[in-house]
Amino acid sequence: MKIGITCYPVAGGSGIVATELGQQLANRGHQVHFISYAIPFRLDRYQKNLFFHGVETTAYPLFKHPPYALTLAAKMADVARNYELEILHVHYAIPHATSAFLARQLINSYAPPKIITTLHGTDITLVGSDPSFFDITRFSINTSDGITAVSKYLADETREIFNPDKPIQVIHNFFDDDRFKPNGGDCCKRKEFAADDEFIIGHISNFRPVKRTIDVIEIFEKIAEKVPARLLLIGEGPETILARRQINKKNLGDRVIFFGNQSRVEAVLPVCDLFLLPSEEESFGLAALEALACGVPVIGTLKTGLVEVIEHNVNGFLLPIGHTTDMAEAGIALLTDKNRLNVFKQNAYSLARERFGKDKIVTEYENYYQEILYG
């Protein structure tokens, strides 16, 4: 198949999944064309069957903001015509699904590609549900030939908010099980971050308020009062400065390491003993899955998509949003029981591989492409 993929190229779940999907499809012999304003975050090496087409915006004085949705549509149409794409697979509804619809109207040299829109979360729960975007989001979803969501939780949210005309196919996020595993080949060494008697706790996010980074710090502080521990923070975002201030205020600076954005988190995750993701909203929780795949138990939140990733009291814990004391107590109880911790680590890896490995999920996407193309 000839497939065009559009995503946001920055660090974040939607862009990471889109990039990993494109790489796996290319490995299977499909021709994959990424179309975006920058090279996607994890598209960091040459690969056969994989191409990138940059979208250039126009800095014309008349425009207060460059019309990215329009230039993206024009680029999509150009790439689709030149390479006779069969599918335009867009990740995140706004503006990508809208641009794909416009692109299809511009194509008249061959049968235009089918449009598949994958919903990732905030495009529905935050952006799309905003009154100013509601109608265009619903239109963009309904004009797609196929709709997928990364979790049943998100599919249900989409049906409740938008009542789309088409069925929503749930295809979960996945991880590359050749890269994400306990003690991977390029893994960092524990001694680089902590003493032998210290536990290592991790967190990865884009540091937006919805990720509740301050809760991460509070949970860590409570854990560190009972057991020797270090905190590894990966990512950057609006609350990075606030997080640093909170850490300094609590005199935790010598126990916390900020990594910033990292494209190869599989090198760091395996050294962790516990991963914290106490988010207010998670459509799936890719960071949690990648931690589990590296054999790291996860503490997450109820009433989010994490309920489809974490099995409570098996490979982690699911607790109410904002209950930092309960989360800390669960973490302390696990870390201080060596046998139980080892069982959780084994469960984390085995369940992640069984349910969300790349071979299983990429095959689901291939089958869905076939269904949309040929009925």
pLDDT of residue 85: 96
Q: Is the pLDDT of residue 62 over 70?
A: no
Q: Do residues 299 and 276 touch, judged by C-beta distance below 8 A?
A: yes
Q: Is the pLDDT of residue 11 over 90?
A: no
Q: How many CB atoms lie within 10 A of CB 307?
A: 18
Residue 73's nearest CA partner among 120, 106, 118, 113 is: 106
pLDDT of residue 129: 58
Q: What CATH number does the domain located at 190-355 have?
A: 3.40.50.2000
- Encoding tokens for residue 29? 């012999």
Q: What is the mean pLDDT of the chain?
A: 93
Q: Is 190-355 in the same CATH topology as 2-174+357-374?
A: yes
Residue range 216-247, pLDDT digits in tens: 999 999 999 999 999 999 999 999 999 999 99
- Between 136 and 75, the higher pLDDT residue: 75
pLDDT of residue 126: 63
CATH number 3.90.1410.10 given to 2-174+357-374: no
Residue range 309-349, pLDDT digits in tens: 999 999 999 999 999 999 999 999 999 999 999 999 999 99
- Encoding tokens for residue 258? 């900020």
Q: Do residues 230 and 201 touch, judged by C-beta distance below 8 A?
A: yes
* CA–CA dist 317, 229 (Å, integer): 19
pLDDT of residue 154: 95
Check: pTM over 0.85? Answer yes or no.
yes
**For residues 4-30, average pLDDT:** 92
One-letter amino acid at 11 equals: A
Percent residues over pLDDT 90 in the chain: 79
- Calculate helix-pair angle for 338-356, 324-335, nearest 10 degrees: 110
pLDDT of residue 125: 66
Contacts (Cβ under 8 Å, ≥6 apart) of 136:
94, 98
Burial grade of 96 (CB within 10 A; 0-12, 13-18, 19 or more): buried
Longest dimension (CA), the chain: 68
**For residues 24-45, average pLDDT:** 92
Q: How many CB atoms lie within 10 A of CB 209?
A: 13
pLDDT of residue 109: 73
Residue range 261-290, pLDDT digits in tens: 988 899 999 999 999 999 999 999 999 999
One-letter amino acid at 212 equals: R
Percent of residues in the chain assigned helix, strand, coil, to nearest 5 = 45, 15, 40
Name the helix (H) or strand (E) containing 229: strand 229-234
Residue range 158-185, pLDDT digits in tens: 999 899 999 999 999 999 999 999 986 5
Q: Is the pLDDT of residue 128 over 60?
A: no
Determine which of 5-14, 191-200, 219-228, 349-358 has the lowest per-residue pLDDT on average. 5-14
pLDDT of residue 42: 80
Domain boundary assignment for the chain: 2-174+357-374, 190-355
